[in-house]
Every structure is written in structure tokens, then in C-alpha cells.
Structure 1
Amino acid sequence: MAMHRITAARKIDIARAALGATIAAAAFGAHSAANADSAPATAGQHLATSTSATTATTGTAGTADARPADHAAPRAHEETKISVTADQVLALARSQVGTSENAAGGGTPYQQWYAGSRRAAETIARDGGSPTAYLNAPWCAMFVSWVGEKTGARPQVGWDAYTVTYAKWFQANHRFGALAKPGAVVFFSWSGSKDLDDINHVGFVVKDNQNGTISTIEGNTGNGKVEERVRPKSQVVGYGYPEYAS
């Protein structure tokens, strides 16, 4: 795809990405700033734990961190009965459109929920830091995790605050691929890289527009909100596939 001119909005997104990287690096020194949220929709790029990652077979933030210990063989679903559909997940995500962070980059229900979650405690035990660090941290992955939790689909959607670990959890559970499907968890790299370690952002796929773009619902966009977006597939690293009910 040809390079596009950088618009004013894009410049704002990139600036937010740099800020997100700084926050992530300061809060969690174990992760490099290069992996922190970037551009159009800065992602909540933080940690993950092998415990949750191995307890589900699909998820928005499960586990299977870059660390070898986190690549343990996946366990069975926390719940064997799968009753949540992709439409239900997307409906809740869409109901959050317009939710905005405060001037400090925090104040969202997703950050507040995640900071008090068991997943955050696992992440901190693995990487250090404190629960309060999540309160103003980039939150795109926390948004996806929250939607999974609130719909009852967390075992399928997973949970994490670090986009790279999130994608690797799907990959470790053999539920990562290149086909855009409604309800899939989409991982972006603004550079166009297809390397999971270069992931900058995450959201939900609404549909494949069949014209080289996808429609999405994402948290922590360049505007600091939950928004519906249209993204070029050239920026997609891959898709995680929650095991939804039919």
C-alpha cells in the first residue's frame, strides 16, 4: 500500500503513542517503550500472566507472554459451556463508544476494573509495578478485556493489558490468523510489520469491508476514546479468534 501523507490527526495519534510508551516504560520497566501503544489508537500495552493465558483457549488478553515460562501448554477452558456470541460482545463494545479518558489519560471504567482484577495481580507478580500504575496507563487492551469480562466471554476473549502478550496468548492457543471475522480481536502495528513483537494496538473487528479495510471498535484511540474506526488491513498484524457460541 502506498504511503499516505501524515495528517494532523495522525500526528496527534503518534504523539499520544509516544506518551503511552513513556507511561508503560515508567510503570513497567521490564517492557521496552518500543512496544508501547502507538498511533491512531494507542493501545493498552502492558503485561500478562501465564496463569490466565493457559487457562483459556482464546482471549483478549489471556497469556503466553514473551517469556518462555508463559508459553506453557494451554489448559482447558475455565468454563466448558460457551454461550456468548460475537454479536453480544460487539453490542457491549459499541455501547461504550464515546467513553473518554481524563486529562491524565485515566479515569475509564476499564482501567479501574483492570487495576483491581486478579489478572493485574498476576501481572504485577510477574513484571513488578503496582495496581495504581494501570489507572492512567494506555488502555486499549484493558477495554477489550473488560468487554470479555462483562459479557461472560473472558475464557474465550482472554484478558491482559499488554498487546504483545495478548496476541501471543491467542497464538499459543492456536487461535491466531489472518482472516478478519466479526468479533475477532485485531492486533495492529502502525509500521505495517507482521511481527507480534511490534504490535501497538488492539480492538474488535466489526466487519471486513472487502475493500482492503476493516471496521472496528477500539478503546484508547488517538482521541482518547472508545470509537468506531475504519482501518487499512496493511496495519493488521493478525487476528485472535475467541471461540464464540454460534
Structure 2
Amino acid sequence: MHSRKIRLSAVLLGGALITGALSVPVHAKVSEATSAEQVRTVQAEDSDATRAQSLAEIARTLPKVGPSDVLKLAESQIGIRENSLGGGTKFHEWYMSTDRARETVARDGGAIHHYANAPWCDMFVSWVGDQLGIRPVMGADAYTVEHAKWFERHGRWGTEPKPGAVVFFDWSGKKTIDGIDHVGFVVADNGNGTITTIEGNTDAGAVEKRIRPTWQVVGYGYPYYTAP
């Protein structure tokens, strides 16, 4: 399947489901009926809280995790496949159970169950961070564009393909965050214009290790790791 991220505004227009997701935990309880004004309030509070507490401060309260831990867990998921509808993985099930999904619905509209068969590359990345207890310093989303913007807002965005970095792709080769199609983890810089990655929701509908040309990379997000 094509792995482009479709924004999950999750509203039905002429019977067509439009899809996407969110960025950093706001620890605010929001309902599926949250108004636009309430959404703006929650987002403002989230921004204020982020400015008040740096990722470094947050990281000190979390498990000591490094790039090797992230890549080991990601690699252990290779081979997991989606169902014939493009979903049905444990990554979908996990995401729909989280506060993140509620926050996303508050941001984009729709309903949580719309994630059941949505594109899932960012759900996979977010699941890895959550399982290792570092979601607050890796971000979590189902919409790649917003996840990339989260890294950018936190000053954790760049152009170096470090192992354990979260890599964001635009298949057309444009270097704009709004054009991002896909996301995964960097395993290695191959030194020849390519990188080795681990990604969910590849065109085979699975978690796979891939070789990607760097001209397709928009940028890299750097989780705040506290171990080598």
C-alpha cells in the first residue's frame, strides 16, 4: 500500500473519510465533542507547559533509554503486517487506547475508531517510544506533519541522519514539512547517499528494514535520549 500520511480530520465528506493525528501530551481531558474554542485553549496550555519545562528536565524523570534500545525494539517488530483494510495491527489498537488519540480527535475532529484502519507509520514510531517510557521526549502522533513540527518546536530538528533519529520523508524530494509523507527510524547512515531505516506501514503493509535515498528526506527529529 502507499504509505503517504493522510490527515485524519476524520470527517465524512460525501461518504469519504478524511484522516491524521497530534503531537505532545497535554495531560488535559478532552472529549470527542470538544469545541473549537476549547481546542485552542488546550493547545495554548500545552504550549505554555512546554515552554515552562524543557525536554531535558522531563528526561530526568524518565527511564534511561538510548538509540540502541529504540532500534532493538523497532527491529523486533519487523514482519508485523496489517490486515486487508490497511489496519488491524497492535499499533492501531494501542494508539486508539491512548490519551493521544483523544487529543488528536479534539484537534482534528472525527472519532477515535477512525484510526482502526488508518495509515500507521507514525503510530508505529509512537508505540516504540511509549513502550520504552520516553514518549514525552519523542513525541507521539499519527500525523507525520504534526510530529515533525513537534520536533521543530522543541529545537530537536535537523539534517544529520543519526542512529535512533526519527526520519521524515517526502517522496517528491521537496524539503518542506507540510509535504511529509512517511516516517521511520534511522538505523545507519550508509555514507553513499542512502540511509538504512526501520519503518512501519511500508508499501508492503508491514514493519520492514529499508534502504532509502537521502534526497527523499525532509529532516530528522532527535528524541531526547539519556543513554548511549
Q: TM-score band, normalised by the shorter chain?
A: 0.7 to 0.9
Does the aligned pair in 1 maintain the 2:96–2:116 contact within 8 Å? yes
Q: Is 2:186 aligned against 1:211? A: no
Change (3 A) 1:76 1:189: same
Query: Does 2:55 match 1:80?
Result: no
Q: Which has the higher strand share?
A: 2
Counterpart among 11, 16, 22 of residue 48 in structure 1 = 22
2:93 is equivalent to residue 112 of structure 1: yes
Q: What percentage of residue pairs aligned between the two structures are identical?
A: 51
Aligned partners of 2:122 and 2:142 also within 8 Å? yes
Q: Could you give the per-residue CA deviations for residues 95-148 of structure 1, whole angstroms, max 9, x where no partner exists?
A: 000000000111100011001100000111121111111110000000000000
Q: Where in structure 2 are there 5+ consecutive unaligned residues? A: 28-42
Select 1:195's aligned residue among 176, 181, 196: 176
Deviation at 1:29, TM superposition (A): 7.0
Tell me the C-alpha RMSD between the 2 structures. Answer: 2.7
**Partner SS for 1:187:** strand
Contact 1:50 1:70 in 2 (8 A): no
Q: Structure 1 segments of 4 or more deviating over 2 A?
A: 24-30, 49-53, 68-82
Deviations 1:190-239 (A, max 9, x none): 01010000000000000000000000000000000000000000000000
1:234–1:28 Cα change, 3 Å? farther
Query: TM-score, structure 1 length as denominator?
Result: 0.75
TM-score (norm 2): 0.81
CA distance in 2, matches of 1:136, 1:153: 25
Structure 1, unpaired ranges of 5+: 1-12, 37-44, 54-67
Q: Is residue 202 of structure 2 the alignment partner of residue 221 of structure 1?
A: yes
The number of aligned residues is 204
1:121 aligns with 2:102: yes
Instruction: Tell whether the 8 Å contact from 2:67 to 2:163 is kept in structure 1 after alignment.
Output: yes
Alignment correspondent of 1:169: 150
Q: Answer yes or no: is the 8 Å Cα contact 2:24–2:136 preserved in 1.
A: no
SS of structure 1 residue aligned to 2:148? helix
1:154 aligns with 2:167: no
Q: Which one of 89, 108, 131 corresponds to residue 112 of structure 2?
A: 131
